[in-house]
Amino acid sequence: MNNREIYVKVFLDTLGVEEKELEGLKYQDVPSWDSVGHMSLMAELEEAFDIMMDTEDILDFSSFEKGFEILNNYDVEF
Amino acid sequence: MMWNFNSIDNNVALIEDSGLHITYYQLNAMSRNLSNFFSGKKLVFCLCKNTIGSILGYVTFVNSKQVPLLLNSELDSSLLHFLFDTYKPQYMWIPKEQLNLFSDLSVIYNIYDYVLIKTNFNDNTNINDELALLLTTSGSTGSPKLVRQSYKNIKANTESIVEYLKIDKNEKAITTLPMNYTYGLSIINSHLYAGATLLLTDKSILEKEFWHFFKEYNATSFGGVPYTYEILEKLRFFKMDLPSLKTMTQAGGKLLPSLHEKFAKYALENNKDFVVMYGQTEATARMAYLPAEKSLEKFGSMGFAIPGGKFELYDLNSNVITENDVVGELVYYGDNVTLGYAEELSDLEKGDERHGKLVTGDMAYRDKDGYHFVVGRKKRFLKIFGNRVNLDEIERMIKKEFNIMNCACSGYDDNLFIFLVEDFNTNDIKTFLEDKTKLNRAAFNVKFIEKIPKNDSGKILYKEFKEHF
């Protein structure tokens, strides 16, 4: 799996959404992406890419698209 | 009157994250206008948010002796309608954007983001004079079982909290919990009672806007359930620069002792107070607290009874345990012990059924210095992200929805396990529970086992599920 596929899979598994819902998906758009879901999502992404995110980035991670930008800062390339 | 806003005039009472704010003087004036719509004692459904409109309604209804039932504005609409049909409220106080839920009813007043609606139900109930407020026992499953709180209950508990947390009018508490949740409400009650300021937001601690709001208005305190503190630790809270923060309180379930220790240490080193507390909706809100100065020394403990309250520990034969370090069921005495439950409309006529004594259902012991440690629960419920979840109710909901015979629920706090024998779509079950309980799916684990362990008389042996966690 390439990085994009891993990223997508983490979203699908953690939030229980369908792939077609991902585009434009924002924090709190779906019930599963609440504060609890957000922390699980961050933990799963950290594990999948073996990184440790800063507080600002965890708070900034507000959408499916924004995540690409943030992970780029941790040398995860898409 | 629960709150007497007249004497404290021009202090700011409420500030919204939109910047909108009102003083106590204004709150009092607006509250008087709203109260003019009522005569007699009526039931009012309030769909709560952390906004000025929501709080204005609540304080008005309590002060003018109406009986509000506080519900989360995000409560599943079928559960809401079920409660509506069960309790037949005369009025509803709801956010404007939810008017579509009751579009056939007439709006008689609106202010800020809220509207007052008159329903078509007849007024046949003789609501008990002492009854001040109704709260749900489980905010999430929409159970019709409500806790009946009296004026005496709220006043006693509020005064006690103001005393032991030393809340004065200079405090600025920021909301982190829903208002319909007893712990969130106790923060609102006590700060309004002390003439302090409430910073109102529905933003979570995971949003930048929350922290901007926090810093802009120099919040001095917040409360959190165990999960709040787990998130804060992951957010590297200990490195945040929050000079205005003085007090952090914790309730809504037992914090992991290791996390309790970390926050106690942080507080001690940074000249802040970390206060672990214990309570239940059945005791209005608070029953116990661990003073900040003992937080590190006695981590893992929830302290001792609040001013005006008393604990006893009962053994299996309901005899009082006098020895230290012996586990028994925790029993509380105090003026904040609520009247009892309501399960149907006619129960609102009932008076005090508990007479100041509450058997908590929690198992605990007391150490030689008089500090209490909760070790577990007698009853079948879990705390999930601070919300009480009845395992039997979840079981019933799944059986009904999916038409399954063999289903058993068990687990530990923040982790609910659903055991099934037949093969089922795990995702469907999680989505259903998430939808109904409004709790995140991360708490739900679906497991398939060969058979549900039962004893000879067919009772499920819940203890045997532990090996599958």
pLDDT in tens, chain B (469 residues): 899 886 567 899 999 999 999 999 999 999 999 999 998 999 999 999 999 999 999 999 999 999 999 999 988 888 899 999 999 999 999 999 999 988 889 999 999 999 999 999 987 789 999 999 999 986 556 678 999 999 999 999 999 999 999 999 999 999 999 999 999 999 999 999 999 999 999 999 999 999 999 999 999 999 999 989 999 998 989 999 999 999 999 999 899 899 999 999 999 999 999 999 999 999 999 999 999 999 999 999 999 999 999 999 999 899 999 999 999 999 999 999 999 999 999 999 999 999 999 999 999 999 999 999 998 888 888 889 888 888 988 988 898 899 888 899 999 989 999 999 988 899 999 999 998 888 999 999 999 998 888 887 677 888 888 888 8
How far is Cα B364 from Cα B314, in angstroms, rounded to an integer?
A: 10
Select the residue from A12, A14, A39 to test the B interface by mutation, using most B Cβ atoms within 10 A.
A39
Question: CB of A10 within 8 Å of any CB in chain B?
Answer: no
How far is Cα A17 from Cα B431, in angstroms, rounded to an integer?
A: 10
Contacts of A14 in chain B (CB under 8 A): 442
How many domains, chain A?
1
We report the CATH number of the domain holding residue A39 as 1.10.1200.10
Residues spanned by the domain of A16: 3-72
Name the phi and psi angles at B351, rounded to 5: -100, -150
Q: Do A37 and B442 count as a contact with CB atoms less than 8 A apart?
A: yes
Q: Residue A66 falls within a domain, yes or no? A: yes
Q: Residue A23 falls within a domain, yes or no? A: yes
Given strand B407-412, what is the order of strands in its sheet?
B407-412, B415-420, B444-448
Q: Do A55 and B239 count as a contact with CB atoms less than 8 A apart?
A: yes
Q: Do B204 and A16 count as a contact with CB atoms less than 8 A apart?
A: no
- Provide the 3-class DSSP secondary structure of residue A6: helix
- Amino acid symbol at B134: L
What ipTM does the predicted assembly reach? 0.80
Helix axes B391-402, B426-437, angle to 10 degrees: 120
Select the residue from A12, A27, A32, A35 to test the B interface by mutation, using most B Cβ atoms within 10 A.
A35
pTM of the complete model = 0.88
Q: Residue A78 falls within a domain, yes or no? A: no
- Provide the 3-class DSSP secondary structure of residue A39: helix
Q: Do A32 and B440 count as a contact with CB atoms less than 8 A apart?
A: yes
* Of residues A67, A2, A13, A3, the one with CA closest to residue A44: A13
Place of tokens 């758009």: A29
Question: CB of A35 within 8 Å of any CB in chain B?
Answer: yes
Q: Residue A77 falls within a domain, yes or no? A: no
pLDDT value at residue B387 = 84
* Cα distances (Å, whole numbers) of residue B196 to B52, B58, B389, B404: 15, 17, 33, 52
* Cβ proximity of B211 and B236 under 8 Å: no
